[in-house]
Structure 1
Amino acid sequence: MLQRFLVKPFSFCTLTSVMAMSAAVQADTLSWGDAETDLGKLTVSGWVRANYQDKDYSDSDHKLKFNAAKLSLKYDAKTFFGGVEYRCYQNDTLCDFSTLVNANLGYKLNDDSRITVGLQDMPFGIGRFWSSSWYGSSMDNAGLEDVHNLGINWQQQLGANTSVNLAYFVRDGGSFVGDGDAARYAANYVKPEDATTDDIEEKNMWVARISQQIPLQDSPVKLNLGGSYWHSDLQNSNGQTGHRNAWNVFGRLNYQNANVTLTAGQNRADTKSLSNADYATVGSFESKYYVANKANYYVANVDYQINDFYKDYDLTPYASYAVFDKDKSGFATSTRSLLGAQLDIQQFSLAAEYITGKNDVFIGGDAGSLAGGDASGHSRLLNLLFIYNF
């Protein structure tokens, strides 16, 4: 059964102790040390989240309940840096799905160059997230956005306006606490339920990205353009090895507090499957489903931050639209549109998102939605989030 939590975990003891500490200490004081020293600075942050959902495609219990929690540790010093992110989600019981998202250590070669080793987000696309929403775009589920794998990433700043990444990932990020191989944060190839279906393992991932800030003299507008490329080996349980070749181009236009972000790309995966050449089994958030091997994809996002919208409240409305257009004849295009807004005051946030999906695996769809499609038509979800940040 498909499940989606979209926030993540740590143990109950850790959760309660962090909440108690956060109630007494402001968020900007949860740090120790000095980043300009050899010993460095350690910062603790995170959030605890509850949600309320209403769906037109299933019976909703209409209950406010604990949804997820995140604990983040960040270390920064003169020479070294690192970070750990751990999340816990609730399906039936507290933190019955929990997962490590990042765990890495880095070395600063100089002021403009650094290397990061460990479990980390891949430098594919404009950044870790391509949209402003909490629920994310459907590219998350397709395994193209917000992907975290095990490897090494070299980042080089070339002058004031150009940034380059070159990374190698030996394997995916693995599975953690939960139901089987799909108990993972990022969407990766996973072991299929059907023993007759080919099992795909992705290894030897090479990823490159370049991001260029375009100077616009005497203009309040900021423009960033770039592109990224991803090549990997796809080891099939039938003894053959195929390849993934994926790329995208992206741009972000900023004017004062308004941002427009566009991403367009292509994914081509040859799994060398003799039985299912057009799709493969992917999993995340304890769900397994099929994703088309060949598709073009597009994501558009707009957001606008209104400071002091009312007294001390800040308001950020946002909207996104994602398209996963499969090459295979007869495979229906998958879309997800989202309208949302977030209200912030001090350490508290309230977010409301209205999401419409078609052939969407996590919005009214089924395991075949991101491959051949489904018969559900348009499905809708109202997602309300109540967040305490520390």
Structure 2
Amino acid sequence: MSTISVRAQEKPLVDIGGALRFNYNYSSWKDAQKKRGGDLGYDVFRLNAKAEYKGLKFNAEYRFYSQDFGGAMLKQGWIAYNFNENDELQFGLIQVPFGITKYNSNSWFFSLNYYVGLEDDHDMGLKFIHLGEKWDYSLAFFKNAEELRFGSNSDVSNSRYSYDVSSIDLNGDSNLNIRNKEVNQLNGNLSYKIDNANAKHRFGVSAQHGALFNLDTEQMGEHYALATYYELQAGKFGVKAQIANYKYSPENLTGEPDDVIAMTAYGAPYLVAAEASIYTLGLSYAIPLEWGLVSSVVIYNDFGYMDKAESHFENSIMNVTGAMFTAGNIYTYFDLAAAKNQPWLGSEWTNALAAGTRDADWEMRFNINIGYYF
């Protein structure tokens, strides 16, 4: 990012930056695409802005996707106050402090947690962050997810970066069903650090509890999520391991299913099992390089398994093996993603993370994401 100094008393600092990314993919379940050798196209253009003055901070990121992927959207945007070098209070559209943050993954695809709203989620609220010598913790209250419509009975917009509870048309009749919204959510994240000359360890636990407001019954359901995690950085080698459990208990209309919940992002909703445990493990290794402009490569493998509580639901599995190359301001991800019952990695969209498909085949996607960051 470039730094611009603005003249005013103690010279506030403003950073303006962003990125332009393109994406190539070759998918095993798309016969016509395979015949033409895959597709290369536009991914996203984003703008970032940061500012700081007398302990007050500002941070925003706005993204421009194609219309089919949700169009333009605010990923995050918040103001903050630094009480001291250890304590900060943030307000606005902020990252939910749950599990391994900032990301519980190494690849461009993220982990299975992201697709059920438990990784890199951003909601509207207030968060206090303490970074100590041994202990870090975050406490947060979220009034709701991103709200774009503000109507008394308005459904959640599909135009958003991170997955949130929403509504969905189950019958193809243009009427939305299981219409819920996340409201009044509390989060806590606590971690303990052990740093020595050879390795850095982090052990952590997270808890999340909130209400679900049903737009048809106008009654409050509830939801919770719990996680325990471990991170290791030993020289060039890294580990990210996490176990998470969640449950949604909506107050839906009589006759509507309560073993699934609708979630949405990037322009389209799908169904998710209302209760599941997710196990993830990410391994990485950084290799310095002197290969033209290429200065380093990180190789990694991210594995995830979603164990759904309903016995007749088919579990979801996802594995991504890849490498991220750094060449000046250009970052390129080469990923080979394989999955069963994952909506973004297979032909079944609506039910993949819910009931799934019995005896589903492994589906593969080779993906290259190239981005220039400024």
Common fold by TM > 0.5: yes
C-alpha distance 191-305 of structure 1, shift in aligned 2 (>3 A): same
Which of 276, 294, 305 is the matching residue for 2:275?
294
Which of 291, 295, 319 is the matching residue for 1:337?
319
Match of 2:291? 310
Which of 163, 184, 198 is the matching residue for 2:136?
163
Which of 219, 242, 251 is the matching residue for 1:263?
242
SS in 1 for 2:178: coil
Which of 351, 355, 358 is the matching residue for 1:372?
355
Aligned equivalents of 1:337 and 1:263: distance in 2?
15
Cα deviation digits, residues 46-70 of structure 1 (max 9, x gap): 2111111101111325232221122
Cα deviation digits, residues 47-98 of structure 1 (max 9, x gap): 1111111011113252322211221111223311120001112266xx8712
Which of 211, 214, 217 is the matching residue for 1:233?
211
C-alpha distance 211-39 of structure 1, shift in aligned 2 (>3 A): farther
Which of 197, 200, 210 is the matching residue for 2:190?
210
TM-superposed deviation, 1:234: 0.7
Match of 1:385? 369
Aligned equivalents of 1:91 and 1:335: distance in 2?
29
Match of 1:191? 167
Cα deviation digits, residues 200-230 of structure 1 (max 9, x gap): 11100100011110245xx401111111100
> Are 1:128 and 1:147, in contact at CA under 8 Å, matched by a contact in 2?
no
Aligned equivalents of 2:336 and 2:220: distance in 1?
41
TM-superposed deviation, 1:139: 1.5
- Alignment coverage as a number of residue pairs: 354
SS in 2 for 1:104: strand
What amino acid maps onto 1:109 in structure 2?
Answer: F
Match of 1:84? 60
* 2:144 is aligned with 1:144: no
TM-superposed deviation, 1:157: 2.8
Aligned equivalents of 2:51 and 2:318: distance in 1?
36
TM-superposed deviation, 1:292: 0.8
Match of 1:52? 24
What amino acid maps onto 2:159 in structure 1?
Answer: A
> Are 2:26 and 2:39, in contact at CA under 8 Å, matched by a contact in 1?
no
What amino acid maps onto 2:189 in structure 1?
Answer: R
What amino acid maps onto 2:190 in structure 1?
Answer: I
Aligned equivalents of 2:86 and 2:277: distance in 1?
34
> Are 2:14 and 2:52, in contact at CA under 8 Å, matched by a contact in 1?
yes
Aligned equivalents of 1:299 and 1:336: distance in 2?
9
What amino acid maps onto 1:310 in structure 2?
Answer: W
Aligned equivalents of 1:294 and 1:377: distance in 2?
24
TM-superposed deviation, 1:240: 2.2
Structure 2 length as normaliser, TM-score?
Answer: 0.89
**Runs of 4+ residues deviating >3 angstroms:** none
Cα deviation digits, residues 275-318 of structure 1 (max 9, x gap): 21101111111111101111001111111111225355211111
CA RMSD of aligned residues (A): 2.2
Aligned equivalents of 1:45 and 1:163: distance in 2?
29
Structure 1 length as normaliser, TM-score?
Answer: 0.86
Aligned equivalents of 2:290 and 2:221: distance in 1?
53
Match of 2:342? 360
Which of 293, 296, 301 is the matching residue for 1:319?
301
SS in 1 for 2:98: coil
Q: How high is the sequence identity, in percent, across the aligned residues?
A: 22
Counterparts of 1:101-112 in structure 2, within 5 Å, are 101-112=75-86
SS in 1 for 2:162: coil
- Structure 1 gaps, min length 5: 1-26
Aligned equivalents of 1:188 and 1:175: distance in 2?
13
SS in 2 for 1:75: strand
> Are 2:70 and 2:265, in contact at CA under 8 Å, matched by a contact in 1?
no
TM-superposed deviation, 1:173: 1.3
Q: Which moved more, 1:336-345 or 1:304-313?
A: 304-313
